Amino acid sequence: MQIEILSNANSVIQQDNYLLIQTAEAEARVWVYSPTIIRVCISKTFAQSDESFAVIEKPLDNFTWQHLADIVEVTTSAVKLVINLKPLRFEFFTADGQPLSGDDTRFGTNWQAERVMNYRKLYPDEKFIGLGEKAGDLNRRGQNYVNWNTDAALHTITTDPLYKTFPFYIGLHSGLTYAVFFDNTHKSYFDFGATTDEQMMWFGADGGDMDYYFFGAQGIRNILEDYTWLTGRMEMPPLWSLGYQQCRWSYMSANEVLDVARKFREKQIPADVMYCDIDYMDGYKIFTWNKETFPDPKGMVDELKSMGFQLVTIVDPGIKIDENYPEYKEGVEKGYFATYPNGELFTGSVWPGRCHFPDFLNAEVREWWGVSFKALADPGVEGFWNDMNEPAAWGQNMPWMVKFGDKFMPEIRNVYGMQMSRATYNGTKRILNGKRPFILTRAAYAGTQRYSAVWTGDNAASDEHLLFGQRLVNSLGLVGMSMIGVDIGGFMGNPTAELMVRWNSLGPYTPMFRNHAALGMTMREPWQWGDDYEQIIKKDIEQRYKLLPYIYSGFYQSTKTGLPLSRTLAIDYTQDENIYDTKYQNQFLFGDALLVAPVISTVDHVDVYLPAGDWYRLNTDERFTGNQMVNVSCPLTDLPVFIKAGGIIPMQNIIQSTNEQGDGVLQIHIWNGDDTNTFVYYEDDGATYSYQSGSYHKRTITFDPQKREIVFNPVEGEYQSKYHKLELVGHGLDGVQLNRQIDNTNEVFAISY
Ligand code: MIG
């Protein structure tokens, strides 16, 4: 095999809205998408259509560039791209000339046959974060990774690859930030200085183009806003999906599902969601129900709904080969399944036995798949869980000759799951007639936030997985995802009661709060752990329900800015070295005001790092000074959770499900601080898309501790808040009494204390 290194440019012209640069072996194109986003695509072919599964925005119509001897400069108000023509290399600077990131001048972009790579300069102090669901530390410096969506059953905390592909990383050096999104669906590789003698970092893929977007915004919040502008943001999730979710593989019958749901109500433990894993189906045939064990799906869902529960059902991609199965027959007739190159249908074995696999890359197939959900939606299901979509089959691998339209497996594997969730989302959105479906997927590619929530797959019931899971959630938050869950309790293995309790205490601060367990594992419901522990878990779940107004507002922020709900401290404390310390790297902000330190189940004291500012312990209101490590107690009843001084948190009374009206009082908790702080409160009907046409209730709350004043700014939107009273609750006000109730009117008003 030979190596070809991108050589001298022999022509540079502007064509339409891009710069076209030719070398002997390839062609480079440069587009400007915004002042902070520049795309470079280096290709040998440019034959294929310029389609992306991730990107939803278009480049600008024009941009500024100049040709100076052996250099071309593309400049925006924020970024300068210097293109060296001999040989062709790209380097990005801030507008005032500070180097951000560039090609290694010797090797730049190069090829080994179809494999394409980009070698880049590595700065001595450079750190890397991102890539989403990846093992290893928050700072990925010195690590290398592969993207190849895999059913990573039995994975450990070092397994790579896992289920998802997000080829997006953020680089940090010299007090600057930048990011790169490598939009390539082939098997891809990222080496953050693992093996290059501290000289280079590199990324590449087995095929396709060197097609990347460079982000030059300063500050990680701005980078996330740009990245999610380019690849899209989530829509508001149905409110019920933010309640407590109870899953297991499997509740084996309608009676069992109903019994568990009833028990939550009897015990007054709040919950919103029950799940049906694969055993609800007839012989694992997708879009069917087992007639013996689930004889009356509508009756079951009706009864669940009457108790304030929603049901989520699982679907896998594999369609069973069975002449009496309409989905099979129709799929074959219409040519909807993946084939071998000779046109024969590809067959793989999964739960149903021998199966064919829908070609979700085909719009007509997505349409067909979407409509099929009537079998689940008609009886009332509104949540759809997409599993095994790496895609998985027994033996894990699928022949690389398997074809999806005109593309082969190696090129589409990393987007298959995303396209399945796209089909599921668009289809069920239509069927539900204006109600928000809830979609959950295991496999994903950049942009999946537009369609679906994700969970981190088959973790294990251990303390190290508890911490690892949090790291995955935090890292997924750096790639556009916000609605993220881990199997609380651990999927494989049986947790100790203490681990179960501890993990549930992290649940309120996990974007998606779902308990799940594998087949054959001990039962995991909150009442399986003895009375005392049941009471602790109950309190944790209640905490989730109290926080829902805050959490819902946090998701609103995700829909507008791409900022995730669970935020690694790297987002706001980027330059603080301590937060990358492996001891503190799992800590995160949950929304604007809360700092959470995940803790294993076997300790009752833990070191927590509090970054700059003052902090209050949630359960005691004890005030701490930041910028230091503190050793705090952490009994199973009290996970270390802190509130940023000046923090504003809207809460509500404890309800048993999001269906319940509650007492109509929105509590506004504030914690004393030094600086003025604001919180954007957001509410809508929690169920439909009418918020997109003005039916929402949004207001900025400003807390000025110096003036001792809280201002409720005018309400925007036409939705009438379900809270008719506001109750102000002060913390850390040195004995000053703030607590009072007032009417929740839509006009501006101020409360002084
Ligand atoms: O081969 O549907 O990750 O959550 O319970 C295992 C059964 C298939 C894997 C999922 C897991 C689910 C299980 N599934």
Express each pLDDT in 632-679 by its tens digit: 999 999 999 999 999 999 999 999 999 999 999 999 999 999 999 999
Angle at 225 between CA 219 and CA 230, to 5 degrees: 130
Task: Give the pLDDT mean for 260-272.
Answer: 99
Q: Note down the domain range covering 153.
A: 3-231
Does 44 fall in a domain?
A: yes
Residue % of the chain over a pLDDT of 90: 97
Task: Give the pLDDT mean for 743-752.
Answer: 95
Does 14 fall in a domain?
A: yes
How far is the C-alpha of 522 from the C-alpha of 490, rounded, in Å? 11
Q: At residue 713, what are phi and psi to the nearest 5 degrees?
A: -75, 165
Q: Which residue has the tokens 């009082």?
A: 665
Residue 201: give its domain's CATH number: 2.60.40.1760
Q: Are 732 and 672 in contact (CB under 8 A)?
A: yes
Query: Does residue 281 have a pLDDT over 80?
Result: yes
For the chain, counts of helices (H) and of strands (E): 11, 50
Give the ligand 1 atom nearest the CA of 350.
1
**Which pLDDT band holds residue 735 (cuts at 50, 70, 90)?**
confident
Task: Give the pLDDT mean for 703-731.
Answer: 97
Query: Does residue 236 have a pLDDT over 90?
Result: yes
The pLDDT assigned to 48 comes to 62
Q: Please tell me the distance between residue 490's alpha carbon and the centre of ligand 1 in angstroms.
A: 13
Catalytic residue, candidates 151, 209, 272, 390: 390
Name the average pLDDT for the chain: 97
How far is the C-alpha of 277 from the C-alpha of 551, rounded, in Å? 27
Q: Which residue has the least CA distance to atom 5 on ligand 1? A: 249
Phi-psi region of 130 (alpha: psi -120 to 50; beta: other; left: phi over 0): left
Give the ligand 1 atom nearest the CA of 458.
3
Query: Does residue 331 have a pLDDT over 80?
Result: yes
Task: Give the pLDDT mean for 512-521.
Answer: 98
- 96 catalytic? Reply is no
- Work out the burial of residue 539: count CB atoms within 10 Å of its CB; fewer than 13 is exposed, 13-18 middle, 19 or more buried: middle
Q: Please tell me the distance between residue 520's alpha carbon and the centre of ligand 1 in angstroms.
A: 12
Does 121 fall in a domain?
A: yes
Q: How many structural domains compose the chain?
A: 1
Residues in the chain: 753
* Ligand 1 pocket residues where CB is under 6 Å: 249, 277-278, 314, 387-388, 442, 457-458, 516
Query: Does residue 47 have a pLDDT over 80?
Result: no
Q: Please tell me the distance between residue 387's alpha carbon and the centre of ligand 1 in angstroms.
A: 7
The pLDDT assigned to 737 comes to 86
How many CA atoms does the CB half-sphere of 670 hold within 13 Å?
32
Give the ligand 1 atom nearest the CA of 250.
5
- Among 150, 249, 441, 524, residue to substitute to test ligand 1 (most atoms within 8 Å of Cβ): 249
- Among 312, 387, 491, 514, residue to substitute to test ligand 1 (most atoms within 8 Å of Cβ): 387
Does 164 fall in a domain?
A: yes
pLDDT in tens, 549-596: 999 999 999 999 999 999 999 999 999 999 999 999 999 999 999 999
Query: Does residue 196 have a pLDDT over 90?
Result: no
- 581 catalytic? Reply is no
Does 308 fall in a domain?
A: no
Query: Does residue 221 have a pLDDT over 70?
Result: yes
- 685 catalytic? Reply is no
How far is the C-alpha of 739 from the C-alpha of 668, rounded, in Å? 10
Q: Please tell me the distance between residue 321's alpha carbon and the centre of ligand 1 in angstroms.
A: 21
Give the ligand 1 atom nearest the CA of 249.
5
Does 536 fall in a domain?
A: no
Catalytic residue, candidates 191, 209, 359, 387: 387
Does 132 fall in a domain?
A: yes
165: helix, strand or coil: strand
Give the ligand 1 atom nearest the CA of 351.
1
pLDDT in tens, 348-405: 999 999 999 999 999 999 999 999 999 999 999 999 999 999 999 997 789 999 999 9
**Which pLDDT band holds residue 45 (cuts at 50, 70, 90)?**
confident
Task: Give the pLDDT mean for 207-229.
Answer: 98
Does 542 fall in a domain?
A: no
- What residues contact 188, with CB distance under 8 A and at least 6 apart? 146, 147, 165, 167, 182, 203, 204, 205, 206, 414
